Amino acid sequence: MNFYIIIPAHNEEAFIGDTLTSLTQQTLLPQQLVIVNDNSTDNTQSIVEDFMKRFPWISMVNNRSSEKHLPGSKIINAFNKGLETVEPNYDVICKFDADLIFPPNYLESIAKHFQSNPKTGMAAGFCYIKKNEDWVLENLTRKDHIRGALKAYKKECFEDIGHLKTSMGWDTVDELLATYYGWELLTDESLHVKHLKPTGQFYNRASKYLQGEAMYKMRYGFWITLISAIKLAYRKRSFRLFWDYMSGFFKAKNNQTDYLVTEDQGKFIRNHRWKGIKGKLY
């Protein structure tokens, strides 16, 4: 299978060398790897250029964006900049973060999953973070959710969902839309990916409001948003987050913010979420 990888990168000099090294040592090499150097002011560009000299399938796109860190729109805008340069004959398109170390068999294993089940639309392994001297699961969400750091999409699924949304919540709505179109999601617990910079390390207050806004834009409605906000805040042990999430939801509602999904897709998403909630209760 032809793997095409896009990696948005902003000031990743401490990590991107390890990420690229792990990808150049894959048992199944990608056909193309595009680094989107998003307004970096450190040595990210020079590190990438060194890899480009040794690996002709690695390229770089320089992108100028805001220095403000807002999850969602910034990273997907950078991803889309890289997508513009990708050849159309890919089988799998990947959006990877610039702070990951992949096991050597990662892409080969993902390819086998796609090949073994034609209905698999998205697949990934699991992120592990270092605590003391051990690498432990970065347990931020349920195990059937594919983390935004390491998304791999079959081309047909990627096209069905309309590519990626430039919004906080893009890495949830993509899965919901994939399910809406009949695709299956797969997570492989045997694939341990080292995550060098834990998720949310640099999130600011405005970023947290965007989580609630995203729930509104996915047409969750009040009750599902309330339950989701409670769960997320409890997982992170912060009542303040619950307040931020709900404030973001009501702010988006009062401003009549545009939705990310159609009315029919929203109805499917609410039914899907209620089914999951009821399944855990009963």
The mean pLDDT value for 77-101 works out to 95
The mean pLDDT value for 112-135 works out to 94
User: Contact, 213 vs 244, CB < 8 A?
Assistant: no
> Which of 256, 252, 169 has its CA nearest to residue 213?
252
Note the pLDDT of residue 205: 57
Residue type (1 letter), 16:
I
- pLDDT, one tens digit per residue, over 137-181 is 887 667 788 999 999 999 999 999 999 999 888 999 999 999 999
The pTM score is 0.90
The mean pLDDT value for 111-126 works out to 97
3-state helix, strand and coil shares in percent for the chain, rounded to the nearest 5: 45, 20, 35
User: Contact, 217 vs 251, CB < 8 A?
Assistant: no
When mean pLDDT is compared across 101-105, 186-190, 267-271, 277-281, the lowest value belongs to: 277-281
In sequence order, the 6+-apart residues with CB closer than 8 A to the CB of 189 are: 125, 126, 143
In sequence order, the 6+-apart residues with CB closer than 8 A to the CB of 159 are: none
Domain boundaries, the chain: 3-195, 207-281
Going by pLDDT thresholds of 50, 70 and 90, the confidence category of residue 112 is very high
Query: Above 60 in pLDDT, residue 203?
Result: no
> Which of 94, 98, 273, 95 has its CA nearest to residue 176?
273
- Supply 159's token pair: 């096209």
> Which of 154, 117, 76, 107 has its CA nearest to residue 125?
107
Note the pLDDT of residue 237: 79
Q: In CATH, what class is 3-195?
A: alpha beta
